[in-house]
Chain A
Amino acid sequence: MSTAPRTWPILLLLGLASVPLVLMYIYLVIDTVTDAPPGSMVPDRVTVEHWRFLWQDIPGKANIWLVTLNTFVFATATSAIVLAVSSTAGYALSRLNLPFRRFFLAGALILHAFPTITLIVAIFLILQMVGLYNTLIGVILVKASLELPLGIWIMKGFYDTVPWEIEMAGIQDGADRFTVWRRLVLPQVKPGLLALGVFSFLAGWSEFILPQVLAPDNRVQVLSVYLAALIADDQSFDFNLFKSIGLFYVIPVIVLYLIFQDKLMNIYGGRSKG
């Protein structure tokens, strides 16, 4: 990396300020595979004991693979619903001459800004009434609908950048409106779909409060709830185990970011490249 000569003091300062953060990350990793004598920071032996949750159940807790599968299903389904609805609703709001179009647009923004937590009691009651309390489907539907306003808004922004002429040309070439959308317009907003898909997957993966309140049962537990329950348990307190599961929980997130980091920046640029 080449830097101008004047920037090194700033880099040094930033570097120093980051040291505690970096140290914490390093210890997060080190602690999962070592043990240290009480009162010491320096580990004295290497062990895989803290990763035992991978092959044996923690007493009183759900199976880790079941919980991981639940989390994966939860995040994927949320992402899929958000993608399916945003890609169509965003198009409608961007292109179609709908009644109450401005109302829907403003509504989507307000809903996005609305604090989720204030709705939780009402949602809890509704889910119980329709029998979706303590089910994955229930919490997926809730999470997806709370993610939707932002998704619709972002997709509308992407559709707005697609030239009208492309659609007119498609119509003129004999395609119906749906074919034009699917074959000509959708490919132009692919960067938006990709970014939105990854973002809503991550939002689902890291969601805690909704599953905690709406689906706390062991059968449908997700990783965030599993972790919270682990640390709340005073009986068998194991900090290194908690760190190991935490690392296990965060690995997919890091991998996704590594793969998609360039693409994710698109969502802020909001442009499709022609």
Chain B
Amino acid sequence: MRILLEGFTKRFGDVTVIEDMNLEIRDGEMLALLGPSGCGKSTTLFAICGIHGVDGGRILFGDEDVTRTPPQARNVSVVFQSYALYPHMTVFKNISFPLEIKHDDKAQIRAKVKEVAHLMHIEPLLDRLPAHLSGGQQQRVALARALVRRPSVLLLDEPLANLDARLRLEMRAEIRRLQLETGITAVLVTHDQVEAMSMSDRIAIMDSGVIHQIASPKDMYDNPVNAFVAGFLGNPPIAFLEGEVSDGRFTTPTRSVAITLPAAMTGLCAGRRIQIGVRPEFVTADPKGEVEAEVAFVETQGRENLYDLKLADGGVLRSIQPARDDIRVGDRLRWRIATEQVMVFDDQGLRL
């Protein structure tokens, strides 16, 4: 089911959290709402499911305006960060609750619960209470409860935040598998860019109630519209340097560092203040490289090493490369930057 937010506005008291937001979620896709905490992504989610009222604008499911439709009638399922399982009911009762509310007949309920339990691999757990389940199992039950009544939209509010690292990896793939298998339209709220990139078809990146960019994960990574988006995506994150254009090159204010700009950017007029963003994978150690920097910190990640590089004027670059042990903290080396991959932003952070 296609979801459309038109001019969506939400206030809490005098505080306007979201103003005039427009967002389209396509039929059958998984869209990630990505942003730092407090950016309004959960508010948007709760508006879609109907828990929060709307202070302006419209919400459409397909062609139907559901702005004033109560949450019970929207056929939207939500998986909460805390899972919100009903502690006094067994897993079976938890999953069957949405069907019992609809007064489905008993045999049909049993069949549907069995089916979804099979899908989520939780059949052996049906008689247990939520308190006797591990975090990952609770998560599966919450998903099963959300899916059992075949909702037209599935909303996931930070579904992986309470899981440990290994389980998070597993459930990431699991949730994506379910979404693809059922073909359900889903919205994922998360502050974790890795989750957003690995699970969704498209990402809408938000900050302070504003959507900065909506694009596929790869598009967004390669072509961020501004410095905020560029800084939010990527782990280890992109490094920014501030300076100005001089002679077709970027120089820092002290002129101690000069980096060639990408070919498309050579037209910038000299003296213009800009910032450049360099992703760590485009910085490599090379005796013929154009910048010199001191290794300030080495982080071993097993397959790769991450180096924090301190430039002569105090600016910081990062480099990630296959693990090697000939570079140590304190070494001064020359580094080559893949200059065509350098992203150029104006002094407001807008991509040039």
Chain A residues with a Cβ under 8 A of chain B: 163, 165-166, 168-176, 179, 184, 187-188, 274
Q: A165-B82, A168-B51, A175-B72 are in contact. Are A188 and B101 (CB under 8 A)?
A: no
Count, A-B residue pairs, CB within 8 A: 53
Nearest 10 A-B pairs (CB), nearest first?
A: A165-B84, A173-B98, A169-B84, A274-B87, A187-B88, A174-B101, A165-B80, A172-B78, A174-B72, A175-B101
Contact A171 B72 (CB under 8 A): yes
Q: Would you call B119 an interface residue if the criterion is a C-beta within 8 Å of the partner chain's C-beta atoms?
A: no
Chain A residues with CB under 8 A of B77: 172-173
Contact A168 B101 (CB under 8 A): no
Q: Would you call B232 an interface residue if the criterion is a C-beta within 8 Å of the partner chain's C-beta atoms?
A: no
Cβ contacts A to B, 21 pairs, < 8 Å: A165-B81, A165-B84, A166-B86, A168-B51, A168-B80, A168-B84, A169-B78, A169-B84, A169-B86, A172-B71, A172-B72, A173-B77, A173-B98, A173-B145, A174-B101, A174-B102, A174-B149, A175-B72, A184-B86, A274-B87, A274-B131
Q: Would you call B221 an interface residue if the criterion is a C-beta within 8 Å of the partner chain's C-beta atoms?
A: no
Chain A residues with CB under 8 A of B51: 168, 171-172
Q: Would you call B30 an interface residue if the criterion is a C-beta within 8 Å of the partner chain's C-beta atoms?
A: no
Chain A residues with CB under 8 A of B86: 166, 169-170, 184
Chain A residues with CB under 8 A of B130: 274
Among residues of B, the one whose C-beta sits closest to the C-beta of A164 is B84
Chain A residues with CB under 8 A of B117: none
Cα distance A163–B87 in the bound complex, in angstroms: 11
Q: A163-B84, A175-B72, A188-B87 are in contact. Are A168 and B102 (CB under 8 A)?
A: no
Least CB distance, A183 to chain B, in whole angstroms: 8
**Further 5 A-B residue pairs, CB within 8 A, beyond A171-B72, A172-B51:** A166-B86, A166-B87, A174-B72, A174-B149, A188-B88
Chain A residues with CB under 8 A of B76: 172
Q: Would you call B282 an interface residue if the criterion is a C-beta within 8 Å of the partner chain's C-beta atoms?
A: no
Q: Would you call B61 an interface residue if the criterion is a C-beta within 8 Å of the partner chain's C-beta atoms?
A: no
Least CB distance, A164 to chain B, in whole angstroms: 9
Q: Would you call B49 an interface residue if the criterion is a C-beta within 8 Å of the partner chain's C-beta atoms?
A: yes
Contact A168 B78 (CB under 8 A): yes
Least CB distance, B273 to chain A, in whole angstroms: 47
Chain B residues with a Cβ under 8 A of chain A: 49, 51, 71-72, 76-78, 80-82, 84, 86-88, 97-98, 101-102, 130-131, 145, 149
Chain A residues with CB under 8 A of B149: 173-174
Chain B residues with CB under 8 A of A179: 101
Cα distance A75–B78 in the bound complex, in angstroms: 45
Cα distance A226–B19 in the bound complex, in angstroms: 71
Q: Which of A163, A165, A174, A188 contacts B98 (CB 8 A)?
A: A174
Residue from A171, A176, A187 with most neighbouring chain B CB atoms (10 Å): A171
Q: A166-B86, A274-B87 are in contact. Are A171 and B71 (CB under 8 A)?
A: yes
Q: Which of B72, B81, B131 contacts A176 (CB 8 A)?
A: B72
Least CB distance, B161 to chain A, in whole angstroms: 13
Contact A173 B97 (CB under 8 A): yes
Least CB distance, A87 to chain B, in whole angstroms: 16
Least CB distance, B89 to chain A, in whole angstroms: 8
Least CB distance, B342 to chain A, in whole angstroms: 45
Least CB distance, A58 to chain B, in whole angstroms: 50
Cα distance A119–B72 in the bound complex, in angstroms: 47
Cα distance A273–B80 in the bound complex, in angstroms: 20
Least CB distance, A266 to chain B, in whole angstroms: 15
Least CB distance, A237 to chain B, in whole angstroms: 55
Contact A169 B131 (CB under 8 A): no
Cα distance A165–B87 in the bound complex, in angstroms: 12
Residue from A163, A165, A172, A188 with most neighbouring chain B CB atoms (10 Å): A172
Chain A residues with CB under 8 A of B101: 173-175, 179
Cα distance A179–B102 in the bound complex, in angstroms: 12
Contact B87 A169 (CB under 8 A): no
Chain B residues with CB under 8 A of A187: 88
Chain B residues with CB under 8 A of A188: 87-88
Q: A166-B86, A187-B88, A188-B88 are in contact. Are A172 and B49 (CB under 8 A)?
A: yes
Chain A residues with CB under 8 A of B88: 187-188
Chain A residues with CB under 8 A of B145: 169, 173
Chain A residues with CB under 8 A of B80: 165, 168-169
Q: A173-B101, A274-B131 are in contact. Are A163 and B72 (CB under 8 A)?
A: no
Least CB distance, B67 to chain A, in whole angstroms: 17
Least CB distance, A137 to chain B, in whole angstroms: 35
Least CB distance, B77 to chain A, in whole angstroms: 6
Among residues of A, the one whose C-beta sits closest to the C-beta of B86 is A184
Least CB distance, A47 to chain B, in whole angstroms: 53
Among residues of B, the one whose C-beta sits closest to the C-beta of A187 is B88
Chain B residues with CB under 8 A of A166: 84, 86-87
